Structure 1
Amino acid sequence: MAETKPLQSGIYTGKVMHQRVLPKQHGFSYRTFSLCIDLDELPRLQQLRLFSVNRFNLLSFFEKDHGSGNGELAAGVRKLLSRRGYAHACTRISLLCYPRILGYVFNPLSVYFCYDADNRLQVILYEVTNTFRQRHTYLIPADSTEKLQHSCNKQMYVSPFMPLDTRYSFTIRPPGSAVSVGIRQHDLQQQLLFKATFAGQQETFSDAALLKRFLSHPLMTLKVMVGIHWEALRLWRKKLSLQPREKGPRNSISWYDQNGDFHDESL
């Protein structure tokens, strides 16, 4: 009997920190965990008792929560990459995100790690979703497997207290025994407005680990959404100015082609 290949997917347990710097200081942190799912391993993962794919369970993953929202996520991501000149980055795709817990999830930021046939990281997709269920993806080539730093202009309304004319800077340590994601947001004068980080340690993707995380982080995904609105209320009480919201497209993408030219379009 052939030996079963070890899972590339994992669970990362750690802490999220948010810190608003300007115009007023405001911050918080909380314990959390994320899944890093190899999209080609979804059939194997749904064999677990406590985890399901595209159906309800204690913890679950629904393909429609990401990408175009039309399901068949791996095929959709590969099509997206290929259409923009990155077919070589389609061999393995891992997605760092929150799971559904008892059927509920909200992912402010999901990160796709896209590898070539030699298992070299070639592209990162930063998928940002706001509370109005709009989604914008930033496609940026990767040039390292150790620590990556990316920058791009903000393209979608996210927070009622943060202007659109700002720039994101991402610092990423790709998944291994640990993972980290850092975001810094600057205004057009290069002043730091906001920073956030997630850093987590890897655990094996198993029923035992999933149950342990569920018990240690009960209703985590619901708390993410409640926390967003609670922190917004606290900022409003600090008299921060509300930013106008333009509806914009439901799903859009920005990307750098292999010549370094920037593009932006609706999906």
Structure 2
Amino acid sequence: MSKLCSTVYEGRVFHQRLRPTKHRLSYKVFSLLLDLDELPDLHYRLKLFSYNQFNLFSFWDKDFGSGIEEPLVQYVRKILCKFGYNLSNGSIKLLCYPRIFGYVFNPLSVYYCYDSSNILRVIICEVSNTFNERHSYFIKVGHKEGQNKVFSCKKKFYVSPFMDMESTYHFHISPPSDRLTVFIDQHDDKGPLLKASFSGFSEDLSDKTLFYLLLKYPLMTVKVIGGIHWEAIRLWNKGLKIFSRPVPPQEPITLVNKHLTKTKK
């Protein structure tokens, strides 16, 4: 039986708010990095994981993208074509939380889109808020081995009532390997506001690994949404200003094309 392309990353989510009041949080979590073309195969090869069907762990297309019941890989390929990328022979891998006991909330889901030579060409950061809204940031990478890139764009989508929309995201890009890191910093005209990251190490995706994760993180996806509300209460108690929720942007995807820096690992 061939080795799976999908894998697991176990690690830690970290947020640090720098102004006007300092606040930080850190939680141990795990994420799946799923090859979207491999989902039907995972459904049959794993007993504890199902695709578009209830199980201890499951993945549902409607939890992502357009929110309709179409194969997610088809949706992503249509988006890629819309922005001029025909990567039909390349893989698309999604970093996300799975449903556990039928529930999930993904504040951030990251699509890594490769060409036929397995070179990372596009990253799509799909952001969800607690109002059942989604918005994606489309990043043209053109990645070369051994490099990190930082891309920047204006914040377009309301996430937190305690964060002004008049700010800018900095996306720190690196392709998944044995270690995976995702860094997103938020700035305003006075400097850094928020630093957010996920960092983890890879493990094989198997029933054995999933069972271990179930024992270690039995209510992780409930903890994610519970943690969001708990941290909101803590911020409210610190007296932070509340910003009203604007109308969501008409376009569901923002193109990120401002390249800030390039650094060697």
Give the corresponding residue for 2:186: 185
**Consecutive aligned runs of 4 or more in structure 1 exceeding 6 Å deviation:** none
Aligned residues of 1:68 and 1:251 also touching (Cα < 8 A): no
Structure-2 separation of matches of 1:231 and 1:19: 12
Give the corresponding residue for 1:176: 177
Letter in 1 for 2:177: G
Give the corresponding residue for 2:262: none
Pick one of 3, 7, 19 that aligns with 1:6: 3
Give the corresponding residue for 1:152: 153
Letter in 2 for 1:217: Y
**Deviation digits for residues 166-221 of structure 1 (CA, Å, limit 9, x no counterpart):** 111111332111101011100133x1111111111101110000110111112101
Evaluate the alpha carbon distance shift between residue 229 and residue 90 of structure 1 in structure 2; reply closer, same or farther with a 3 A threshold.
farther
Aligned-residue offset at 1:43: 1.0
Letter in 2 for 1:206: S
Pick one of 55, 58, 65 that aligns with 1:57: 55
Structure-2 separation of matches of 1:80 and 1:215: 37
Matches within 5 A, 1:1-267: 4-47=1-44, 48-70=46-68, 71-88=70-87, 91-144=90-143, 145-146=145-146, 147-189=148-190, 191-248=191-248, 252-256=252-256
Unaligned runs of 5+ residues in structure 2 are: 259-265
Unaligned runs of 5+ residues in structure 1 are: 261-267
Structure-2 separation of matches of 1:40 and 1:126: 19
Evaluate the alpha carbon distance shift between residue 133 and residue 250 of structure 1 in structure 2; reply closer, same or farther with a 3 A threshold.
farther
Aligned-residue offset at 1:52: 0.5
- SS in structure 2 of the partner of residue 87 of structure 1: coil
Structure-2 separation of matches of 1:245 and 1:43: 38
Task: Report the TM-score when normalising by structure 2.
Answer: 0.92
Percent of pairs identical after alignment? 50
Structure-2 separation of matches of 1:210 and 1:88: 31
Letter in 1 for 2:58: S
Letter in 2 for 1:203: E
Aligned-residue offset at 1:154: 0.7
Evaluate the alpha carbon distance shift between residue 238 and residue 199 of structure 1 in structure 2; reply closer, same or farther with a 3 A threshold.
same
Aligned-residue offset at 1:256: 4.7
Task: Report the TM-score when normalising by structure 1.
Answer: 0.91
The 10-residue stretch of structure 1 (79-88 or 92-101) with the greater mean CA deviation from structure 2: 79-88
Q: CA RMSD for the aligned pairs?
A: 1.6
**Deviation digits for residues 41-68 of structure 1 (CA, Å, limit 9, x no counterpart):** 0011111110011111111111111111
